[in-house]
Structure 1
Amino acid sequence: MITLFFNVAILLLALVMIHSYFGIRILKKGIVFTDLAIASMAGFGIAFSIVFVDCCYTYHFSFLFSIIGAVIIALMINKTKHIEAFIGLLYILSSSATMIILASQGTEHFNEILASDILFTVNIYESVFIYLCVGAVLYLTRNSKYSEWIFFIALAVTVTSSVNVCGVLVVFSLLVAPALIALNQNKYPPYILAIVLGTVLAFISLIGSFYFDLPTGYSIAFVYAISSVLFLITKRVF
């Protein structure tokens, strides 16, 4: 049990670190639905593999569709007015398509795509390695003239791995909640605060879900969401 929690703790820390970076960048760009749309496209890839190829090449199809989503957004971001609405429609398209093709399979697979149980993740260190590689690429290409394209491709790679590990809702929560809180204060560096806060919330969710026998993925999404909502309401009121 200790080994299980240690491995999951490493994965959660890696998830928080890489998603906090992307979350802050996305919120600053004002394209918050980007991560949700790409995550939903990755989820559609998983659903596609379940229905049409009997769960074979799940990661490959997930990556393919998330790359398609990232490329579409990268192409349209400077050429379309009200880009956030367009990205929102891309999310609706992929989510509804996922539900349609999974209709004959029941709701179990759809629920797993939304939020899976991170406690039973198998490829923990593979995911951590992917996040380390993504971080290295982003750092080395930070001044490249293709940095915008690299950013979206790196986001697609990250989201593909994360959706397979913890589900669409958890990915969106990891990306948005800590970054939103961090960018709505001026006392601490946003990225550092996002990592610290995200890590604390992740472990609260993990421990709470274990002791109260709750689904881990949905627990993480709930704790992240309620924390950010309460923070912003409290900040506004007081």
Structure 2
Amino acid sequence: MNTESLDLMIILPALLAGLLVLLTHVPLGAQVLKRGIVFIDLAIAQIAALGVIIAGAAELDPQSWAVQAAAAAAAVLGALLLTWTEKRWPEVQEAQIGVMFILAATAGLLLVAHNPHGGEHLQDLLAGQILWVRYEQLLLPAVGTALICGLLYFLRDRLSRLGFYLIFALAVTASVQLVGVYLVFTSLIVPGLAVRHYVGKKRLVLAYLIGAAGYASGLVLSTLYDLPSGALIVWCLTVLAMGVYALGPKPDGAQRVANH
């Protein structure tokens, strides 16, 4: 362990990026679990990443608005397609989401096959480079986060299927480029799984606390031990979630079994 390598000024922008992601992904993740379409986040995130890869193949500046637009366009098209498939074949929607994920993932592999830096680019999109996020990269995601949080607050249960998919696509677009596909999935699903038996406002508060503590501890440990930040955050967040779930209320069936 190298305590001299712990620089809070390096960690701070990365932590802010994680908190921005959590602001939208925790409530969206609750909706994903409620709707029973758990792998939609992986599919949309992978489609957004495919948009970034396509923009890269066109030799666009990675930090330009054009790349953001390409990722958003790809994610929105994926959301529209998923809306249509859910109307047409609702009984196999989860399977269709899985097919879309694998098609987007393999399309990305094909597009970077002849790029000498293609493997590194794919790794960055999957695992993310959260530790190297800069403050200036947070401006656009912060504006998008504020808009999405506003929509989620005012629409609440009145959100249509199409509206949900579109909002989800836009939220994931920004977060994939900040933290990577793995952390997008973890931020959406793991806190919601941990607090699913809690009730009232405590559920949302605990989900946010799990996410924030997972990002903070993962960033600190990755800096101290020189380990990949994204992967370590996934593990820290998951271990914390398991602890919160274990200490929390039991489902009705489990409670009855415990009483006997």
Q: If the length of structure 1 is used for normalisation, what is the TM-score?
A: 0.88
Query: Which stretch shows the higher mean deviation, 181-190 or 41-50?
Result: 181-190
Query: Which stretch shows the higher mean deviation, 199-208 or 113-122?
Result: 113-122
CA distance, structure 2, for counterparts of residue 38 and residue 167 of structure 1:
12
| Structure 1 residue 86 corresponds to structure 2 residue 96 | yes
Aligned residue for 1:140? 154
CA distance, structure 2, for counterparts of residue 197 and residue 114 of structure 1:
22
Aligned residue for 1:115? 127
Number of residue pairs matched by the alignment: 236
| Structure 1 residue 222 corresponds to structure 2 residue 235 | yes
Counterpart among 101, 118, 141 of residue 127 in structure 1: 141
Aligned residue for 2:107? 97
CA distance, structure 1, for counterparts of residue 100 and residue 182 of structure 2:
16
The alpha-carbon distance between structure 1 residues 214 and 93, as it changes in their structure 2 partners (threshold 3 A), is same
Question: Retained in 2: the 8 A contact 1:33–1:88?
Answer: yes
Q: CA deviation at 1:154?
A: 1.1
Aligned residue for 2:224? 211
- Partner-residue secondary structure (3-state), 2:88: coil
Aligned residue for 1:64? 73
CA distance, structure 1, for counterparts of residue 12 and residue 235 of structure 2:
22
Query: Which stretch shows the higher mean deviation, 8-17 or 29-38?
Result: 8-17
Question: Retained in 2: the 8 A contact 1:38–1:156?
Answer: yes
| Structure 1 residue 168 corresponds to structure 2 residue 190 | no
Q: CA deviation at 1:211?
A: 0.8
Aligned residue for 2:27? 21
Q: In the alignment, residue 151 of structure 1 is paired with which amino acid?
A: F
RMSD: 2.5
The alpha-carbon distance between structure 1 residues 136 and 231, as it changes in their structure 2 partners (threshold 3 A), is closer
- Partner-residue secondary structure (3-state), 1:82: helix
Q: CA deviation at 1:135?
A: 0.6
Q: In the alignment, residue 140 of structure 2 is paired with which amino acid?
A: E
CA distance, structure 1, for counterparts of residue 196 and residue 84 of structure 2:
27
Q: In the alignment, residue 46 of structure 2 is paired with which amino acid?
A: S
Cα displacement string for residues 90-137 of structure 1 (whole angstroms, at most 9, x for unaligned residues):
101101111111122241011011022212113123212211111112
- Partner-residue secondary structure (3-state), 1:77: helix
Unaligned runs of 5+ in 2: 1-6
Q: In the alignment, residue 175 of structure 2 is paired with which amino acid?
A: S
1:169-208 equivalence runs, <5 A = 169-185=182-198, 189-208=202-221
Q: CA deviation at 1:229?
A: 6.3
Unaligned runs of 5+ in 1: none
Same amino acid, percent of matched pairs:
26
Aligned residue for 1:7? 13
- Partner-residue secondary structure (3-state), 1:135: helix
Counterpart among 44, 47, 61 of residue 41 in structure 1: 47
Q: CA deviation at 1:226?
A: 4.9
- Partner-residue secondary structure (3-state), 1:183: coil
Q: CA deviation at 1:71?
A: 1.0
Aligned residue for 1:32? 38
CA distance, structure 1, for counterparts of residue 15 and residue 228 of structure 2:
17
Question: Retained in 2: the 8 A contact 1:8–1:124?
Answer: no
- Partner-residue secondary structure (3-state), 1:31: coil
